[in-house]
Amino acid sequence: MVKFAEVNDLLVWQAEAVAMFSQDFVYAKFSEFYNSSSAEIPLPSSVSQREFAFLLFKGRVMMRHKGFADMNRFRSFLIDPKNLPSDVYHSCAYYENPEAEMDKKGWLGADLVFDIDADHIPTSCNKIHDEWTCGKCGFSGKGITPESCPICEGQKFDAKTWPCDLCLGSAKEETVKLVDMLEKDFGFSRKELHVFFSGHRGYHVHVENEAVRTLDAVARKEIVDYVSGIGLTVLTEKAKGKHKGKRASSVFGLHDFGWNKRLKLGMQKFILNATKEDLRSAGVRSYAAVLQNKEAILKRCLEEGRWGSVKGVSVETWAKIAEYVKNLESAKIDTVVTTDIHRLIRMAGTLHGKTGLKKIEFPVARLADFDPFKEAVAFKDGVVKVCVSDVPEFRLGGNVYGPYRRQVVELPTAAAVLLICKGRAEVVK
């Protein structure tokens, strides 16, 4: 008779063998992709001044400090089987010697980059499809991964996320707000703005312009603060903290440019549609006064700037509404990415190791109708039988799949690769 422990070992061994086989399958698909499509990978500007990095399938090693004089050399490196990467990055920075050690590279400047990732946006669905487990004490929870563990304060987590349609929709809304600020408030032209789907759960925006190239980390932090609405004051300096009893018009005022205009338009929209619940979540105590006087508020206060002209709508009310609207109108970016002047960023046209989807650029004008689940699909042929552990309903290449839970299904290659890369399925031999 076989003992339980032996059966258990056998099962573990079989599970590992299947996982290995799935990895080989993903490896083969990535290899096919780069062999057939490497010529279509677009070239980043000033290729010879960029540092490149590759996370290799073999040994999960990060190979950094690579430089290429031209795209042909890059491509022949990429299709060499011993270099096959799960992820490819290049520096936002330009260097004299991209292959040198960090302090000897000779930093010449860097593009201004923004990363908008669903990991930083509090969507209502992340509690359904995202989970995290503390690497130190094993405590786990649902939703956005915290900065530190509430039990042991550990900062390493094992996160299980999903590139969900709704989350990517939210990331797109943040991107729209960011691009609007970059165009209208900073004055960048559409030619200077490059918008990409990241290949996973968000969007990247790169600004390539002489004026931003040599900005240091401190200057970039100023830009981060601006788009995030950090440090924005809505009350005049002398009115802060001692506005009680004063007329709203004398302490609250908004002009017609930048954040002032954004707040004004945002407040207009907010008040027009506000319900009692909306006003209460904004912390407005006199919500009845706001609800009863919507029209007068919109006309007299917001249009004519007579902020104190509606009874019951005080400076405090305006400050609360403005603060709430500021949070709605600010762009939720990953602040660390923008301030890092040596940042490596995923290369456009390459595959994301967590999804098998491509990072791709698309014109700013197409932001509204761009569909990542159609346009970033890399694998167009074939079907594969996989055993799925657990996955919510998802959309890919114009079709809807799932939800699946502990079942064997036949899926198109792109969907199978996605599930395997996300650790939700294994190939059935």
Out of 139, 185, 260, 387, point to the residue binding Zn ion (CB under 5 A). 139
Q: Rank residues 138 and 312 by Cβ distance to Zn ion and give the closer one.
A: 138
Q: Rank residues 171 and 301 by Cβ distance to Zn ion and give the closer one.
A: 171
By the rule CB under 5 A, 395 interacts with Zn ion: no
Out of 136, 261, 299, 354, point to the residue binding Zn ion (CB under 5 A). 136
Q: Dihedral sign, CA of 65, 69, 72, 73?
A: negative
Out of 125, 291, 298, 302, point to the residue binding Zn ion (CB under 5 A). 125
By the rule CB under 5 A, 151 interacts with Zn ion: yes
Can you tell me whether residue 231 is helix, strand or coil? coil
Whether 129 and 164 have beta carbons less than 8 Å apart is answered as yes
By the rule CB under 5 A, 141 interacts with Zn ion: no
Residues in contact with 292: Cβ distance below 8 Å, sequence separation at least 6, in sequence order = none
Q: How far is the CB of 404 from Zn ion (least distance, A)?
A: 17
Measured CA to CA, the distance from residue 375 to residue 162 in angstroms comes to: 18
Out of 154, 258, 305, 397, point to the residue binding Zn ion (CB under 5 A). 154
Q: Which stretch binds Zn ion (CB under 5 A): 153-161, 224-232, 240-248, 291-299?
A: 153-161
Residue ranges in 163-192 that form contacts with Zn ion under rule CB under 5 A: 164, 166-167
User: Read out DSSP for 295-357?
Assistant: HHIIIIIIIT--TT-STT--HHHHHHHHHHHHHHHS----HHHHH-TT-EEEPTTSBPTTTSB
By the rule CB under 5 A, 144 interacts with Zn ion: no
Q: Report in angstroms the alpha-carbon separations of 288 from 295, 315, 325.
A: 13, 16, 19
Q: Report in angstroms the alpha-carbon separations of 60 from 85, 86, 197.
A: 9, 9, 24
- Contact letters for Zn ion, residues 83-122 (x by CB under 5 A): ----------------------------------------
Q: How far is the CB of 169 from Zn ion (least distance, A)?
A: 9
Q: Rank residues 194 and 201 by Cβ distance to Zn ion and give the closer one.
A: 201
* Phi-psi domain of 49 (left: phi exceeds 0; alpha: psi -120 through 50; beta: other): alpha
By the rule CB under 5 A, 134 interacts with Zn ion: yes
By the rule CB under 5 A, 137 interacts with Zn ion: yes
Measured CA to CA, the distance from residue 286 to residue 276 in angstroms comes to: 10
**Token representation of residue 168:** 């990517």
Residue numbers of the site for Zn ion (CB under 5 A)?
A: 123, 125, 134, 136-137, 139, 149, 151-152, 154, 164, 166-167
